[in-house]
Amino acid sequence: MNRFILALTASMMTASLAVADVTEADLANDTASTGDVLTNGMGRHLQRHSPLTTLNKDNVKNLVPAWAFSLGGEKQRGQETQPIVHDGVMYITGSYSRMYAIDVKTGKELWQYDARLPEGILPCCDVVNRGAAIYGDKVFFGTLDARIVALNKDTGDVVWNKKIADYKAGYSYTAAPLIMDGMIITGNSGGEFGVVGRVQARDTETGELVWDRPVIEGHMGMLNGEESTMTGTLNATWPGDMWKTGGGATWLGGSYDADTNTLVFGTGNPAPWNSHLRNAGKPTEGNSGDNLYAASRLGIDPATGEIKWHFQTTPREGWDYDGVNEVVAYEDRAGNKRWATADRNGYFYVLNREDGAFVSAAPFVKDITWASGIDETGRPIFVEENRPGDPAASADGNKGEVVFSSPSFLGGKNWMPMAHSPVTGLFYVPSNEWGMDVWNEPITYKKGAAYLGSGFTIKPNYEDHIGSLKALDPDTGEIKWEYKNDAPLWAGVMTTAGGLVFTGTPEGEFIAFDDETGEKLWTFQTGSGIVGQPITWEQDGEQFVTVISGWGGAVPLWGGEVAQKVNYLNQGGLLWTFRLPAQLASNN
């Protein structure tokens, strides 16, 4: 059997343990409903903002641990989950594709599911999982062997288990799924293996595929079991057959905007990394070498999977600047409906929510070398001499010219989600100031093998910090305040209407900042590096905050000189829940 249940036998299950089913209305109302956290992003808009004010700048000093939960065993790798909370039960995922149900009052485990992964999985960047989804009487999550699993939320029993793609070709799945209108929407991971990114919709009851949308031009979509339409136009921006292994993995999941009825997914790097192999015709003329729709944001019709609009952040991408970073729906100060996204390439973009049209862009990290700016159409102004060289032009054909590029391929911001505050109007962006020596190499595609065609070494840009939490005004691009951290930042961020910004550091600190000034108001040492995503909710008149601690992720594996700098950090696996006692809520 492909499951492992602990801590709760069938004889222990009673009606009192069963929790209420989750409806579409519940998901749509997630942000306003402060007793639950039902969606990744604390709302399908991904703002990661709570309207709770019980915990605030004056009393956050009184926040104390309520309980801690150990993930146990030897599987202590990066823990990047965002908890889901519903009707007194918390659901988290762990490294190596595990899920736990926990009593939120006591921290006691109710059940555990272990996916029992096969030999030969090919995860790119640690064995992480970023969270679950809940709907009806089920909880859902993805696995490192590229499957999506539906479990009974009360027992942990498997309801259905469906294959997303072939893990032997390099596919995997690490994102939290997205649910809307009775469908579960997923992407895929594996862009470093030349797989093709896709967005898929399944029926939550049966797991049957409703539609499938590949994100690289030339591939055919599917709707209700039949071919639908081709993505893009064959060979318009890809040469020869390279579109067949074109990358564009949709590995971070998506957001949903009810106002425009649009799913928005980001797409990863084109494959291979060596951009000189992917030029079609003369790449400086038109968009012949842009390699659509890699390194892009896509607006997708949730009923059919058709692409409604696209915005490509890094055309002719050659630095592994994935375009997957979350796209947040918000309203600017003038009441305009906008999308915001902080790209791996170092620029913060604002788009029109109706059609994805470019509004503005501003750098949110320093020392960007690959482009001198963004033009009025949203297209980067490339600095061509800072593109890694063509190995075919070298003396031996084995290694192109080495260039220093900033940000590094791990990005000005990577997967770690930013947060928005409707109170201040600001975005709070976890960023990193680093660069890389990078070069191109010859490469040919082989199923299940790395398909990069590049080499690299990451280096810090500054001696005094790498990580930088920035409060950014999306209307002006101005950085209002900055918190510098010695190690890279790799954790999610959360804001509250109480004027607080929460995030964690690899050094193990869980921190609350003043949202207006950046002053550090409270901190707690969790014992391991934090790369998880905080949440908050209220229960019995008190406000709670939860975050998972457990160092890992891509930095220790891919970080070059940076990885050596932080190799002293300890791994772990503890879920911490904090409480503001009612008697201290007004204690200033």
Are 130 and 93 spatial neighbours (Cβ–Cβ below 8 Å)? yes
Q: How many helices (H) and strands (E) does the chain have?
A: 3, 40
In this prediction, residue 18 carries a pLDDT of 60
H/E stretch holding 565 reads helix 561-565
pLDDT at 465 over 50: yes
In this prediction, residue 10 carries a pLDDT of 36
Mean pLDDT of the chain: 93
Q: Give the tens place of pLDDT for each residue, 276-313.
A: 999 855 555 567 789 999 999 999 999 999 999 999 99
What is the C-alpha R_g of the chain? 22
Model confidence at 8, pLDDT cuts 50, 70, 90, reads very low
pLDDT at 14 over 60: no
Check: CATH 3.40.630.90 for 10-584?
Answer: no
Q: Give the tens place of pLDDT for each residue, 182-192.
A: 999 999 999 89
The amino acid at 358: F
DSSP string, 4-23: --BS--GGG--TTT--PPB-
> CA 149, 155, 158: angle at the middle one, nearest 5?
25
Q: What are 24's two structure tokens? A: 């579409």
pTM for the full predicted model:
0.95
Cβ neighbourhood burial of 225 (10 Å; 0-12, 13-18, 19+):
exposed
Query: Among 320, 322, 343, 515, which one carries the catalytic annotation?
Result: 320
| Residue 320 appears among annotated catalytic residues | yes
pLDDT at 263 over 80: yes
pLDDT at 155 over 50: yes
pLDDT at 578 over 60: yes
CA–CA gap between residue 455 and residue 447 (Å, rounded): 20
User: How large is the average pLDDT for residues 236-263?
Assistant: 96
Q: Give the tens place of pLDDT for each residue, 16-30.
A: 456 689 999 999 999
Model confidence at 69, pLDDT cuts 50, 70, 90, reads very high
CA–CA gap between residue 382 and residue 466 (Å, rounded): 25
pLDDT at 568 over 60: yes
Return the higher-pLDDT residue of 75 and 583.
583
Q: Give the tens place of pLDDT for each residue, 102-118.
A: 999 999 999 999 999 99
Domain positions in the chain = 10-584
> CA 180, 84, 159: angle at the middle one, nearest 5?
65
Model confidence at 12, pLDDT cuts 50, 70, 90, reads very low
In this prediction, residue 585 carries a pLDDT of 87
In this prediction, residue 2 carries a pLDDT of 42
